[in-house]
């Protein structure tokens, strides 16, 4: 095992504060046959100078330093993949650092278990907390959530033509390892005898960032491998969808803002009610109120019906504006912060009832599952379209016949006029009229 060459690739962008500790943790590895490759992704701080000074102390003959214009971590890693000479490789982010036994322990796990990817716990060096726990690999759990970090040891022979996907800005590590597992049939193994010192910052690549972008990347990645593991991926998406929908709506409110002419909507004039899947809210407003804005939570949501009803007249008030799509009774909010605005200036008594009913979006087995409902609607509309098409064809036939007979009639009129105005017709007619007068 001591003869095994391991390529360690360090990617750095503006980490002058941490890069030296990262490099020296690699110098101190108990496994000594290491190829060290450092890639400076166009750092604008003093990282380059720190790297060059620190590499003077490198104990490895195979030590290489590359600098290029800033291109992002994905393209930098792809450049690194082309430089590997080792039997195994691992990437290290320049703000993290390794335990002395890191390479040797992961290598031991791979060689003793005939595995291709070795991963371990991620530990916050500031407080010793385990940030990501290395659980035993199972495809179903891995599809639900990633626990294989970018700083995992990989057998080079399993790589093939796999690269990091530069079309995504989040979860690129997850996609890379999922590609190895599903496409290259790589075997992952968890190691519990070492760990990665993984720094967690408030604002950095360590943070999840925007939740919507995170899930867009997640769904994009799973769709790439849908044909390989369709059942497992469908299950994973269902778990994520159910969990996040339920958690999200538990903390949501229906907010009813109200203003008079000339005012702007504000938090000073608002009623709040706990959001429910199917809700009915009764409320009173001051007599001078002219406009109401209903915010049905802050999340994208889909409703079979939303109705604001004037209690005095028991009539529904139609919205004057919505940032969603209103299709018959259905109201579909594809974006965040759904809003409906109503003109209530003509309502003398400002007593209202808000009724709303959500589509079922999380239980595919129920008859009212949104896809089933919309599918039934589409079939019904398709039937109506076919009926209208038959009416259109019949109308065209009748119209064509009418046009034909009109043309024939016009021809007859022309023929009649040509006969009645000819000399052959006029002379006999005059003689007949002469004898009639003689009587």
Cα dihedral sign for 72, 75, 76, 77? positive
Helix (H, G, I), strand (E, B) or coil at 91: strand
CB 352 within 8 A of CB 344: yes
β 301-310/315-317 pair status = antiparallel
Full residue range of the structural domain in which residue 260 is found:
253-358
CB 193 within 8 A of CB 101: yes
Alpha carbons 213 and 202: distance in angstroms, whole number: 18
Q: Which has the closest alpha carbon to 316: 325, 326, 307, 306? A: 307
Q: How far is CA 45 from CA 39, 41, 56, 76, in A?
A: 15, 11, 20, 18
Q: Which helix (H) or strand (E) holds 306?
A: strand 301-310
Q: Identify whether residues 200 and 301 lie together within a single domain.
A: no
Q: Both tokens of residue 396?
A: 């065209």
Note the pTM of the prediction, 2 decimals.
Answer: 0.58
Q: How far is CA 62 from CA 8, 87, 343, in A?
A: 10, 14, 74
Three-state SS annotation for 137-153: CCHHHHHHCCCCCCCCE
The confidence band for 389, taking pLDDT boundaries of 50, 70 and 90, is: confident
Alpha carbons 1 and 171: distance in angstroms, whole number: 32
Is 243 within a domain? no
Is 248 within a domain? no
Helix (H, G, I), strand (E, B) or coil at 302: strand
Confidence check: pLDDT of 156 > 90: yes
Q: Identify whether residues 306 and 403 lie together within a single domain.
A: no
pLDDT 10s digits, 24-74: 999 999 999 999 999 999 999 999 999 999 999 999 999 999 999 999 999
CATH number, domain with residue 83: 3.90.550.10
Please work out, in degrees rounded to the nearest 5, the angle formed at the alpha carbon of residue 356 by the alpha carbons of 351 and 357: 155
pLDDT at 414: 75
Q: Identify whether residues 132 and 265 lie together within a single domain.
A: no
Q: What is the mean pLDDT of the chain?
A: 86
Helices (H), 303-422: 370-420
End-of-domain residue from the set 148, 182, 209: 209
Q: Identify whether residues 200 and 134 lie together within a single domain.
A: yes
Confidence check: pLDDT of 408 > 90: no
Q: What total number of domains does the chain contain?
A: 3
Confidence check: pLDDT of 288 > 70: yes
Confidence check: pLDDT of 203 > 50: no
Average pLDDT over residues 102-111: 97
* DSSP code of residue 202: S
pLDDT 10s digits, 173-196: 999 999 999 999 999 999 999 999
End-of-domain residue from the set 209, 224, 241: 209
CB 293 within 8 A of CB 257: yes
Q: Identify whether residues 379 and 337 lie together within a single domain.
A: no
Q: Both tokens of residue 408?
A: 């024939």
Alpha carbons 324 and 129: distance in angstroms, whole number: 44
Q: Identify whether residues 307 and 382 lie together within a single domain.
A: no
pLDDT above 90 as % of the chain: 56
Q: How far is CA 311 from CA 89, 284, 301, 353, in A?
A: 71, 10, 26, 7
Confidence check: pLDDT of 430 > 80: no
pLDDT at 242: 60
Confidence check: pLDDT of 375 > 70: no
pLDDT at 206: 37
Is 184 within a domain? yes
Q: How far is CA 14 from CA 1, 122, 192, 202, in A?
A: 35, 22, 31, 16
Is 203 within a domain? yes
The confidence band for 236, taking pLDDT boundaries of 50, 70 and 90, is: confident
Is 247 within a domain? no
pLDDT at 208: 36
Q: Identify whether residues 139 and 13 lie together within a single domain.
A: yes
């Amino acid at each position: 095992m001591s003869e095994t060459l391991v390529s360690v690739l360090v990617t750095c962008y503006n980490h002058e504060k941490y890069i030296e500790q990262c490099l020296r943790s690699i110098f101190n590895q108990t496994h000594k046959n290491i190829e060290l490759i450092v890639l400076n992704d166009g750092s604008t701080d003093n990282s380059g100078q720190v790297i060059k000074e620190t590499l003077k102390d490198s104990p490895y003959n195979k030590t290489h330093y590359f600098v290029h214009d800033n291109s992002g971590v994905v393209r930098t890693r792809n450049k690194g993949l082309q430089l590997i000479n080792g039997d195994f490789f691992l990437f290290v982010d320049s703000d993290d650092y390794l335990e002395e036994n890191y390479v040797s322990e992961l290598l031991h796990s791979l060689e003793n278990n005939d595995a291709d990817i070795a991963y371990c716990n991620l530990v916050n060096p500031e407080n010793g907390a385990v940030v990501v726990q290395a659980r035993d690999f199972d495809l179903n759990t891995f599809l639900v959530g990633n626990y294989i970090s970018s700083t995992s040891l990989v057998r080079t022979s399993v790589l093939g033509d796999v690269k990091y996907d530069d079309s995504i800005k989040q979860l690129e590590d997850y996609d890379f390892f999922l590609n190895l597992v599903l496409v290259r049939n790589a075997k992952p193994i968890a190691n519990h005898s070492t760990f990665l010192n993984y720094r967690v910052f408030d604002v950095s690549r360590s943070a999840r960032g925007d939740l919507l972008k995170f899930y867009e990347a997640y769904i994009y990645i799973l769709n790439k491998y849908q044909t390989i593991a369709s059942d497992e991926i469908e299950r994973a998406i269902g778990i994520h969808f159910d969990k996040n929908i339920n958690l999200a709506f538990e903390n949501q409110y229906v907010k009813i803002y109200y203003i008079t002419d000339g005012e702007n909507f504000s938090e000073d004039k608002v009623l709040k009610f706990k959001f429910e899947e199917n809700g009915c809210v009764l409320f009173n407003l001051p007599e001078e109120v002219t406009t109401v804005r209903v915010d049905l939570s802050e999340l994208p949501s889909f409703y079979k019906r939303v109705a604001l009803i004037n209690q005095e007249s028991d009539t529904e008030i139609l919205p004057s504006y919505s940032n969603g799509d209103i299709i018959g009774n259905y109201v579909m909010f594809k974006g965040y912060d759904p809003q409906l605005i109503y003109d209530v200036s003509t309502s003398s008594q400002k007593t209202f009832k808000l009724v709303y009913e959500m589509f079922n979006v999380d239980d595919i087995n129920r008859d009212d599952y949104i896809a089933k409902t919309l599918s039934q609607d589409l079939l019904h509309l398709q039937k109506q379209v076919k009926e209208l098409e038959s009416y259109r064809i019949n109308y065209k036939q009748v119209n064509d016949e009418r046009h034909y007979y009109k043309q024939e009639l016009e021809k007859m009129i022309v023929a009649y006029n040509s006969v009645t105005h000819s000399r052959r017709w006029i002379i006999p007619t005059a003689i007949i009229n002469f004898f009639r007068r003689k009587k």
